[in-house]
Amino acid sequence: MNGLKNLRDLFNKKFYRIPDYQRGYAWGKNQLEDFWEDLENSKGSKHYTGVLSLELVPDDKKKTSQWVEDKVAREKDAYYIVDGQQRLTTSIILIQVLLESVQDEEWFAGEELEELRKQYIGNKTQGGTKYYYFGYMRDNPSFECLKTQIFGDDSSTNRGTDSIYTRNLKNAKEFFKEKITEATKEYKEELFKTLTQNFMFNVYEIANGFDVFVAFETMNNRGKPLSTLELLKNRLIYLSIRIQDSNQLREDINNYWGQIYEMLGKNPNKPLKDDDFLRQHWIMYFTYNRGSDNPHKDFLLNKKFTLKNLLQSNDTEKCNREEIEKYIKSLAESAKHYYFIHNIEEGDTDYERNNLGNNEEIKNWLKKISRLGFGSFQPLILAILHKRKEYDISDEKLLVALREIERCLFLVFGLSPRQASLENSSIYNFSRQFYYQEITLDSIIDSVYEICRNHFDLEKFYSHINDNFNRNKDRGFFDWNKLRYFLFEYEESLIPKTQGKKIKWKSFIKPNQKEHETIEHILPQTPNVEWQKMLNSTSGIKGKREKERNQNIKKLTHALGNLVPLSRAKNSSLLNNPFADKKVEFAIGSYAEIEISKEQQWGKAEIEKRTEKLLDFLFDRWRIDEILEYWDKNDAADWTEEQREYKKKLCFRIS
């Protein structure tokens, strides 16, 4: 079997299976474009496609549960694909696309079409059982996808499970279908011959007894790198075969990884990254440390799940059947919570019913945290959601915790740029301690509040906005990166008090959409003649030298009180119109627009008055007075007074 082989040589009544320790189909558009370019450039000449490493499946392995239903392959020569599955899978998908595109023809590329399908795709037994030469093991979700979505066959066992890998398979088929949509039959035949006869694989058959798991990790460092989650699955299956009676453990690993990838790829518009999820779970499940650039990878593959630890289990680094089972079960369960908090705007009815009791208030506070960005609190939120039922956490207690996390995220990290690593070790440790019931949720709430009051500082917020006013663009509050969140929260606070059009968060944060909501400067950035007339009579601008005059106009234009969220994108021609015209538009707009439409005019006094109102909202919504009162009672009255002074300074009054 060793040596240079083309697909015609390889598909000669031999069966190829992707083993369970392999990742699924990982190629995206970039890799497919490269493959297509190689194909078009190889017409009439040989092309070296790469290494294909195979392991002949021994008879004893064919007796395991994974092979029970794969009857025909079990009785013939069958190979595990150790390396090269991405290229081979891509080749088979393209062959299927080409054969489908000429399905009404009897002959193709000099041979009967049905015979080509029987050679490269599969056939059926005398009893009518279909079989395939290439495929996944039957307990892999990609098996059904390949059979139904790629080969186009029916299946009574298809659950329709979707994942990043199954989506990649379907995307590859669509990619090739688009490439040959307008192609002639002659062009397709030329592609088929090039693919099956000129693409040469350097086939290497690995001897039985060779450690294919180690080979897999080593070989797959080429091409598209394996994620740590993919490597971890391989490692755990490798360890499982060293454990006596390990069939159930191996089956559990495959089942749990299927669930994990289903959750990570559940939203096709926003697939979640393997290693981001694995790192967050690692922080929650194990002891956090900064030992390397990828500490979770180093710990999981080099320190925890190793053959040495399996054979010489000790108290500090347990690695036995029970520990592996507990870990993979936790990983799969956490994937459900991880998916939900990263897709909370879309919602998940089943999850909300089973985990939140359809409590809309809990969901809304999770939305707020998601909109701010989870920061260092992500593993803690995972731990709380994961253990909520087990620890019997009430809705009320959960809400208190979520409110305190949101307040800390906004006041400490949202008011001014800070290092993301601030207090992260402490917060990460909370997640692990709570997960293992070493601390209570009450204790965490108190600790988060302490972090908030220790690091909250309006001086930093003032300095940040002041810097924004003094940089080249001079855009003050308009360049504050949490402005949208703040104005959205203010908008929400007005809902019970007046009529208006509710702003949708998703469109509010995507200003490139046609019907997006956006932030309007009421006093426009490029004032027309009427606005200029108002400014020329304004104290603080009238009679000032040009530099000071311009700076004061900037302070008014980009003041907090001059900014309002619009319920929809307004025609750009209206942006510089007089306030009287804007009022008409505002009167049928968002809640904040309607509030502004009640003003008779719009100038310095109105902007400063509304800025004060918004700063009062800031203090009230995030309970800042509560923090100041705490410091008042703890011999920090001077600091408290300074904070109140900075609140006044944040008005950026002109004079």
φ/ψ region of 327 (left if φ > 0, alpha if ψ in -120 to 50, else beta) reads alpha
Region 392-411 average pLDDT: 97
Instruction: Of 123, 127, 15, 125, give the one whose Cα is nearest residue 74.
Output: 15
Percent of the chain at pLDDT > 70 equals 92
Local structure of residue 492 (DSSP, 8 states): H
Give the C-alpha separation, 548 to 544, whole Å: 6
Give the C-alpha separation, 264 to 249, whole Å: 22
Give the C-alpha separation, 126 to 583, whole Å: 79
Residue 297's CB: how many other CB atoms inside 10 A? 19
Q: Does 256 fall in a domain?
A: no
308 and 381 belong to one structural domain: yes
134 and 178 belong to one structural domain: yes
Q: What confidence score (pLDDT) does residue 383 get?
A: 97
Residue 509: band (very low, low, confident or very high) from pLDDT cuts 50, 70, 90: confident
Give the C-alpha separation, 328 to 252, whole Å: 8
pLDDT digits (tens, 9 = 90+) for 605-627: 999 999 999 999 999 999 999 99
Among 46-60, 327-341, 386-400, 599-613, name the one with the lowest average pLDDT: 46-60
Region 399-403 average pLDDT: 98
Q: Which two tokens stand for residue 214?
A: 């180690």
Region 1-14 average pLDDT: 87
Instruction: Of 191, 196, 193, 194, give the one whose Cα is nearest residue 180.
Output: 191
198 and 299 belong to one structural domain: no
Range of the domain at 468: 459-649
Secondary structure string (H, E, C) spanning 596-613:
HHCCCCCCHHHHHHHHHH
Q: Does 218 fall in a domain?
A: yes
409 and 332 belong to one structural domain: yes
Residue 454 sits at φ, ψ, to 5 deg, of -75, -25
Q: What confidence score (pLDDT) does residue 222 get?
A: 47
Residue ending a domain, choose from 456, 471, 494: 456
More confident residue, 2 or 376: 376
Q: Does 237 fall in a domain?
A: no
Q: Does 250 fall in a domain?
A: no
499 and 530 belong to one structural domain: yes
Q: What confidence score (pLDDT) does residue 390 get?
A: 95
pLDDT value at 420 more than 70:
yes
pLDDT digits (tens, 9 = 90+) for 28-50: 999 999 999 999 888 878 888 88
Q: What confidence score (pLDDT) does residue 158 get?
A: 52
179 and 289 belong to one structural domain: no
Residue ending a domain, choose from 432, 456, 480: 456
Q: How many domains does the chain have?
A: 3
pLDDT digits (tens, 9 = 90+) for 349-391: 999 999 999 999 999 999 999 999 999 999 999 999 999 999 9
More confident residue, 466 or 315: 466
Helical (H) or strand (E) element with 80: strand 78-83
Q: Does 68 fall in a domain?
A: yes
Region 560-583 average pLDDT: 80
295 and 444 belong to one structural domain: yes
pLDDT value at 480 more than 50:
yes
pLDDT value at 248 more than 90:
no
Instruction: Of 421, 513, 27, give the one whose Cα is nearest residue 225.
Output: 27
pLDDT value at 182 more than 50:
yes
Region 310-314 average pLDDT: 69
Helical (H) or strand (E) element with 232: helix 228-240
Region 528-533 average pLDDT: 89
pLDDT value at 68 more than 70:
yes
Q: What confidence score (pLDDT) does residue 513 get?
A: 52
CA-CA-CA-CA torsion sign (389, 350, 20, 171): negative
Residue ending a domain, choose from 456, 482, 512: 456
Q: Does 295 fall in a domain?
A: yes
487 and 619 belong to one structural domain: yes
555 and 598 belong to one structural domain: yes
220 and 272 belong to one structural domain: no
Secondary structure string (H, E, C) spanning 548-582:
HHHHHHHHHHCCHHHEEECCCCCCHHHCCCCHHHH
565, 592 in Cβ contact below 8 A?
yes
Q: Does 236 fall in a domain?
A: no
pLDDT digits (tens, 9 = 90+) for 117-159: 999 999 888 877 888 999 988 777 788 899 899 998 876 555 5
Q: Does 239 fall in a domain?
A: no
Residue 305 sits at φ, ψ, to 5 deg, of -95, 75
Q: What confidence score (pLDDT) does residue 431 get?
A: 97
More confident residue, 449 or 470: 449
Percent of the chain at pLDDT > 90 equals 54
Residue 516: band (very low, low, confident or very high) from pLDDT cuts 50, 70, 90: low
Residue 639 sits at φ, ψ, to 5 deg, of -65, -40
Name the β-bridge partners of 3: 203
Give the C-alpha separation, 626 to 612, whole Å: 19
User: Global pTM?
Assistant: 0.82
How far lies 394's CA from each of 116, 200, 369, 441, 444, in Å? 63, 63, 19, 11, 15
Residue 615's CB: how many other CB atoms inside 10 A? 18
| Cα Rg of the chain, angstroms | 31
pLDDT value at 24 more than 60:
yes
352 and 493 belong to one structural domain: no
452 and 474 belong to one structural domain: no
